A and B are shown apart, each in its own frame.
Chain A
Amino acid sequence: MRTLGFLLRKEFKQIFRNKSLLPMIFVAPIIQLLILPLAADYEVKDINISIVDHDHSTYSQQLISKVTASGYFQLADYGNSFKRALKLIESDKSDLILEIPQGFEKNLIRENKEKLFVAVNAINGVKAGLGGAYLAQIISTYNNDIRMRWLQQPKFNPMPQIEVTSSNWFNPHLNYRFFMVPGILAVLVTMVGAYMCGLNIVKEKEVGTIEQINVTPIKKYQFILAKLVPFWIIGIFIFSVGLFLVARWVYGIVPVGSLLLLYSYMSLYMVAVLGLGLLISTFSDTQQQAMSITFFFIIIFMLMSGLFTSIDSMPHWAYIIAKCNPVTYFIEVVRMIVLKGSSFSDIKYHFLVMVGFAIFLNGFAIMNYRKTS
């Protein structure tokens, strides 16, 4: 116990004297939480549209004003030459072309139907797909408007329509940040555990001090515990700063569920991630090696955790990988507790899985860590 005290005192002194680690611990997470949720946004706005109007009628004007008033589109060009519009697409000044044919109004009234042409620049797939979909939606709404006007108050609607009204639960305004902030919190904590802790242990190997430690009566578990505990505390600290300072005051996210539950899961998760850091450190002799290995894992963990993309829509094999990723469970739980207010019975399974991860990663690491060679 006394030995552990000496070791912990030494670790904390070293961490607080490390001039490159301190900003990583205290400044980087806050900056990341301030920037990422605002920048990593799925909503596509300001799509540049070129409209080629061959009709110049009341109807075409109405349609154009619908499109520009929707808020999604910026009118990049308005004219009557498709060639010119295509040039704009080629020079990347415009993303979409809407071509209104000659006789649009006439045909619509006389023949009851008319075709519109939409050309999409699909280099940026997300923007093209969403832009095309938004435009189709606007046109179909406009179509309905016209229809309603023509069928002047019929006794009953001759064309039955299903109108969909949806209400968004847990995030009523579909605020993307509500989705991102808890996820980024989870990633930050992962970085502390896997990255900082792993590097710290490898540093002793690299400098050679670990040899000095190994000839002392310090026990294996004491050394490991003294390495894990400080980062466990730092992880919880960063999580709290993120949750109470940034999430609450900047984004107005107040956890709906129990804080106790959130912190219990978080503490357990930290143990698992620290195990990963420890494991990485047993496989590397220099900080550079440790960094490369951690980098590899962090990238996969980030992209396959459901942070940005839903894991349910991944192909089956990728879904399985995502399910073997501890980060996935933590992000899910943080979102469930913070946004939905889930209770223990909802995340029982998540607890169980995380206990498994913690035992596996730490057990493997301890087996792999030797005082003698």
Chain B
Amino acid sequence: MTSEVVIKADKLTKRFGDFIATNEVTFEVYVGEIFGFLGANGAGKTTAMKMLCGLSKPSSGNATIAGFDIYKQTEEIKKNIGYMSQKFSLYEDLTVIENIQFFGGIYGLSDKQLKAKSNELIETLGLQNEAKKLVTSLPLGWKQKLAFSVAVIHEPKIVFLDEPTGGVDPVTRRQFWDLIYSAADRGITIFVTTHYMDEAEYCNRVSIMVDGVIRALDTPANLKRQYSATLMDEVFYELARGAKRKSD
């Protein structure tokens, strides 16, 4: 891992009226890193992530994604990132292969690349028999793996994953993380939010957000040492316990 910075957030803030969802968040993410972005429900994770993806305009503060400014170069940013939202967001009324080709196509893959990529994806995911079936007929775990594969189809510099494994069984979660590792091995930076503390242990570094502010940021090992805990669970509990915001 290098120390080349790929995401740089500087006092990033988002206000909705009086409510400050994300309050002066500052951090850096390095190239090829798996960066865990933790926090209780309502802590401001999704808001922060949406600002970084260009889905939401910050109220104040600065950030650069892959060297591009989030205010001025949103279109450039969009070419260099992948995103997988909390909600499953592939087209349920298109088949597996149609989804792959549609998203590949709009990211500018050539016909030849598209063909190669779809074959490769279907093979890695073991979806040979489902390729021509509508996505709506797939089990949730498979859908999530497919959504992740589609999010990185154009080999972006960074992929943002918003609670990608919510509601997925432990075996499938494990397989999902294998996909994440293999993407990270290819040099894709992973920015992931999660509520599963075992997943936090898989990350290179994690940040923990409480009430719109980042309260801790380090490697899981360092955090556990600092809070003299044996599990990330305890670290998280220690920090999130003081939260004033009600979780939703």
Binding site for B on A (CB under 8 A): 2-3, 5-7, 9-10, 13-14, 17-18, 207-209, 211-212, 214-219, 371-373
> How far does the Cβ of A32 sit from chain B's closest Cβ, in whole Å?
27
Query: What 9 pairs across the A-B complex have the smallest Cβ distances?
Result: A6-B105, A208-B87, A215-B83, A212-B89, A217-B78, A208-B89, A217-B79, A209-B89, A215-B53
In the complex, which of the residues B74, B83, B87, B93 contacts A14, with contact meaning CB atoms closer than 8 Å?
Answer: B93
Which of B78, B85, B91, B105 is the one whose CB lies under 8 Å from A211? Answer: B85
Q: Which of A5, A10, A373 contacts B91 (CB 8 A)?
A: A10
Bound-state Cα–Cα, A9 to B95, Å: 13
Distance, CA A3 to CA B88, complexed state (A): 22
* Known A-B contacts A207-B89, A372-B55, A373-B57; A3 and B105 likewise in contact (beta carbons under 8 Å): yes
Interface of B toward A, CB cutoff 8 Å: 53-57, 74-75, 78-79, 81-83, 85, 87-94, 98, 101-103, 105-108, 134
**In angstroms, how far is the closest chain A Cβ from the Cβ of B142?**
17
Contact assessment for B102 and A6 in the assembled complex, using a CB-CB cutoff below 8 Å: yes
Q: Closest residue of chain B to A14, judged by CB?
A: B93
Residue among B55, B90, B92, B94 making CB contact with A215, cutoff 8 Å? B55
- A218 B90 Cβ-Cβ under 8 A: no
**What is the distance, in angstroms, from A181's C-beta to the closest C-beta of chain B?**
35
Please give, as numbers and ranges, the residues of chain A lying within 8 Å of B107 by CB-CB distance.
216-217
In the assembled complex, the CB of A222 is this many whole angstroms from the nearest CB of chain B, namely 9
User: Do the beta carbons of A217 and B91 come within 8 Å of each other?
Assistant: no
Residues of B near A214 (CB, < 8 A) are 54-55
Quick check: A10 and B102 within 8 Å, CB to CB?
Answer: yes
Residues of A within 8 A of B56 (CB): 372-373
Interface centre among A9, A10, A208, A209 (most CB of B within 10 A): A10
Are A212 and B83 in touch, CB under 8 angstroms? yes
The answer to whether A372 and B74 touch (CB under 8 A), given A10-B94, A10-B98, is yes
Contact of B90 among A14, A209, A217, A219 (CB under 8 A): A209
Rounded to whole Å, the gap between the CB of A205 and the closest CB of chain B is 11
Report yes or no: A215 in contact with B106, Cβ–Cβ below 8 A. no
B89 and A217 within 8 A (CB): no
Cβ-Cβ contact count across A and B, 8 Å cutoff: 76
Which one of A17, A208, A373 contacts B93 once the chains associate, using CB atoms below 8 Å? A17
The answer to whether B98 touches A13 (Cβ under 8 A) is: yes
A211 touches B106 (CB 8 A): no
Q: How far is the CB of B151 from chain A (nearest CB, A)?
A: 8
- B66 CB to closest chain A CB (Å) equals 13
Residues of A within 8 A of B75 (CB): 217, 219
21 A–B contacts from the bound complex (CB under 8 Å): A3-B105, A7-B106, A9-B102, A10-B98, A14-B91, A14-B94, A17-B93, A207-B92, A211-B83, A212-B83, A215-B55, A216-B78, A216-B103, A217-B75, A217-B78, A217-B79, A217-B107, A219-B75, A371-B55, A372-B55, A372-B57
| Minimum Cβ distance to chain B for residue A12 (Å) | 11
User: How far is the CB of B28 from the nearest CB of chain A, in Å?
Assistant: 21
Q: Which has the most chain A C-beta neighbours within 10 Å: B91, B101, B107, B108? A: B91
Task: Find out whether the CB atom of A209 lies under 8 angstroms from the CB atom of B93.
Answer: no
Q: For residue B56, which residue of chain A has the nearest CB? A: A373
Q: Which chain A residue shows the least CB distance to B83? A: A215
Distance of A372 Cα from B105 Cα, bound (Å): 22
A14 proximity list for chain B (CB < 8 A): 91, 93-94
Q: Is the CB of B55 within 8 A of A211?
A: yes
- Chain B CB within 10 Å, residue with most, of A5, A18, A372: A372
Distance, CA A217 to CA B91, complexed state (A): 18
CA distance A202 to B51 in the complex (A): 23
A218 partner residues in chain B, CB cutoff 8 A: 106
Residues of chain B with a CB closer than 8 A to A9's CB: 102
In Å, the complex CA distance between A216 and B98 comes to 17
Chain A residues with Cβ below 8 Å from B89 are 207-209, 211-212
Q: How far is the CB of A202 from chain B (nearest CB, A)?
A: 15
Are B90 and A212 in contact (CB-based, < 8 A)? yes
Please indicate the chain B residues that have their CB under 8 angstroms from the CB of A208 in the complex.
85, 87-89
A sample of 20 more A-B contacts (CB under 8 A), given A10-B91, A211-B55, A373-B57, is A2-B105, A6-B102, A6-B106, A10-B94, A10-B102, A209-B90, A211-B85, A212-B103, A214-B54, A215-B53, A215-B83, A216-B78, A216-B106, A216-B107, A217-B75, A217-B106, A217-B108, A219-B75, A372-B55, A372-B74
Residues of A within 8 A of B101 (CB): 6
B113 to chain A, nearest CB (A): 13
Q: Which residues of B contact A219 (CB under 8 A)?
A: 75
Nearest neighbor of B102 in chain A, beta-carbon distance:
A10
A10 to B108, alpha carbons, bound, how many Å? 15
Give the CA-CA distance A313 to B91 in the complex, in Å: 50
A17 and B95 alpha carbons, distance in the complex (Å)? 11
> How many Å lie between the Cα of A251 and that of B91 in the bound state?
43
State the Cβ distance, B153 to closest chain A Cβ, in Å: 11
Please name the residue on chain A nearest to B80 by beta carbon.
A217
A3 CB, min distance to chain B CBs, angstroms: 5
Residues from chain B with a CB closer than 8 A to the CB of A5 are: 105
For the complex, give the distance between the alpha carbons of A3 and B74 in Å.
18
Nearest CB of chain A from residue B188's CB, rounded to whole Å: 15
Measured CA separation A373–B83 after assembly (Å): 17
A179 to B88, CA, bound (A): 50
CB distance from A13 to the nearest CB of B (A): 6
Please indicate the chain B residues that have their CB under 8 angstroms from the CB of A217 in the complex.
75, 78-79, 106-108
